[in-house]
């Protein structure tokens, strides 16, 4: 049921976790067991010739095992990439929500990923609004891409219909033209939503940056003010210490004179 309505299921989460760990496990499983067995036999061997052969087998199995593990890891990575693409298509079928943006991080720009990470650290409330707007931006971008592809298909069908001069394709051409106009209208509306979403993203980024700058400036000004308040006190203490040192030296210099006078 969750797959039918375009939601993430517990099975999807488990499969993603398994596919994420599978490449590393493949490298470990294919690389370590055989060399460890040969190395253990090498350590327990008493004959010099057999020990050399076992050491050679350990190095060879390590090399071949690592190469096979890398090949299997690459296969898992490609499979996970295709699986994630199918999952994203299913999630986007009913519109992308804020909680599903994490599955679409590869479709975010580097600036959007950096802004999202910074806002999540500084202001969780703004982060929720940023995620909602990112979901709208992703949905609009996917609608534009899908409508563009559909319009290309309609154009190809329309060109084929026009090339059939001997057949009556007027009704078909009319339907295809209506489909093209409908797709163009959908694309225009999606472009409007995309523009609004991008403007909202910039607004949220500016708000978060402004609040962060004000907070940092307040802290810096407080430290500057406390330093300026402490500076006269420090100078006064240093002046008193210097005065006390001068008086002590004067007393030490006067003491022998008084003693000699007596």
What is the percent of the chain where pLDDT is above 70?
A: 81
Of 64, 93, 122, which marks where a domain is finished? 93
Of 199, 216, 233, which marks where a domain is finished? 216
Residue 254 has pLDDT above 60, yes or no: yes
* Residue with more model confidence, 252 or 122: 122
Query: Is residue 52 located within the same domain as residue 67?
Result: yes
Of 93, 122, 138, which marks where a domain is finished? 93
- Is 147:183 a contact under the CB 8 Å cutoff? yes
Q: Which pLDDT score is estimated for 165? A: 65
pLDDT in tens, 36-60: 988 888 888 777 778 888 888 888 9
- Is 190:143 a contact under the CB 8 Å cutoff? yes
Query: Is residue 115 located within the same domain as residue 61?
Result: no
Residue 196 has pLDDT above 90, yes or no: yes
Whether 100 is covered by a domain: the verdict is: yes
Radius of gyration of the chain (CA): 37
Residue 140 has pLDDT above 70, yes or no: yes
> What's the domain count of the chain?
2
pLDDT in tens, 88-113: 998 888 888 988 999 999 899 999 99
Whether 242 is covered by a domain: the verdict is: no
Please indicate, yes or no, whether the overall pTM of this predicted structure exceeds 0.75: no
Q: Which pLDDT score is estimated for 258? A: 47
What is the percent of the chain where pLDDT is above 90?
A: 42
- 207 vs 204: CA distance, rounded Å: 5
pLDDT in tens, 202-221: 999 888 877 655 555 655 55
> Any idea what the Cα angle at residue 15 is, between residues 109 and 110, rounded to 5°?
10
- 258 vs 262: CA distance, rounded Å: 6
Supply the range of the domain harboring residue 186. Answer: 95-216
Q: How confident is the model over 19-35, as a mean pLDDT?
A: 91
Whether 152 is covered by a domain: the verdict is: yes
Q: How confident is the model over 73-99, as a mean pLDDT?
A: 91
Q: Which pLDDT score is estimated for 139? A: 93
Query: Is residue 136 located within the same domain as residue 83?
Result: no
Query: Is residue 73 located within the same domain as residue 137?
Result: no
Query: Is residue 62 located within the same domain as residue 126?
Result: no
Of 32-46, 169-183, 200-214, 246-260, the range with the lowest mean pLDDT is 246-260
Q: Which pLDDT score is estimated for 214? A: 55
Query: Is residue 77 located within the same domain as residue 180?
Result: no
Query: Is residue 181 located within the same domain as residue 78?
Result: no
- 109 vs 198: CA distance, rounded Å: 12
């Amino acid at each position: 049921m969750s797959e039918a309505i375009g939601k993430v299921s517990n099975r999807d989460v488990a499969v993603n976790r398994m596919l994420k760990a599978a490449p590393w496990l493949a490298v470990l499983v294919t690389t370590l067991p055989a060399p460890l067995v040969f190395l253990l036999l090498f350590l327990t061997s008493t004959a010099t010739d057999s020990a050399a052969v076992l050491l050679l087998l350990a190095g060879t199995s390590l090399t071949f095992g690592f190469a096979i593990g890398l090949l299997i890891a690459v296969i898992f990575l490609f499979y996970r990439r295709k699986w994630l693409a199918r999952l994203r298509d299913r999630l986007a079928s009913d519109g992308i929500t804020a909680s599903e943006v994490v599955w679409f991080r590869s479709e975010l720009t580097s600036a959007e990923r950096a802004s999202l990470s910074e806002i999540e650290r500084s202001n969780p409330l703004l982060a929720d609004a940023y995620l909602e707007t990112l979901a709208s931006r992703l949905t609009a971008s996917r609608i534009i891409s899908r409508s563009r592809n559909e319009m290309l298909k309609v154009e190809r069908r329309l060109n084929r219909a026009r090339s059939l001069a001997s057949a009556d394709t007027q009704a078909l051409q009319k339907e295809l033209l209506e489909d093209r106009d409908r797709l163009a209208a959908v694309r225009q509306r999606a472009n409007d939503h995309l523009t609004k979403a991008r403007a909202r993203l910039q607004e949220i980024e500016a708000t978060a940056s402004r609040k962060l700058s004000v907070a940092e400036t307040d802290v810096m000004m407080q430290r500057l003010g406390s330093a300026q308040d402490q500076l006269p006190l420090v100078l006064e203490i240093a002046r008193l210490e210097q005065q006390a040192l001068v008086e002590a030296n004067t007393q030490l210099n006067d003491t022998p004179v008084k003693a000699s006078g007596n």
